Amino acid sequence: MIELEHISKRYDGRPVVDDLSLTVPDGAFCILLGPSGCGKSTTLRMINRLVPFDSGAIRIAGEDIRDVPEEALRRRIGYAIQ
């Protein structure tokens, strides 16, 4: 399961992702769909720690991603960009 709780990210003081909460159950597929600039890619990059989030928590299988070494985390995650 992937859990995002109140995730926020700002660039130059401008919110890109603001208070996003989302749960993706084990075995489920999830699509982030929206217009250009709405934070889809930033959200994916925060999940695999390519971009740090400013507030909130992200857990995969109940484990906070900040407690997992980046390389080990990324080996557990696959995603496709359009």
Q: What would the mean pLDDT of 18-42 be, rounded to a whole number?
A: 93
What pLDDT does 56 receive?
A: 98
pLDDT of residue 82: 65
**Residue 65 CB neighbour total at 10 angstroms:** 19
pLDDT level of residue 8 (50, 70, 90 thresholds)? very high
Q: List, for residues 54-82, the tens digit of each pLDDT value.
A: 999 999 999 999 999 999 998 988 777 76
Burial of 31 (0-12, 13-18, 19+ CB in 10 A): exposed
Q: Give the model's pLDDT for residue 30.
A: 86
Within 10 Å of residue 66's Cβ, how many Cβ atoms?
Answer: 13
Entry pTM: 0.88
Domains of the chain: residue spans and CATH: 2-75 (3.40.50.300)
Which residues are within 8 A (CB) of 62 and not within 5 positions of it... i.e. 6 or more apart? 1
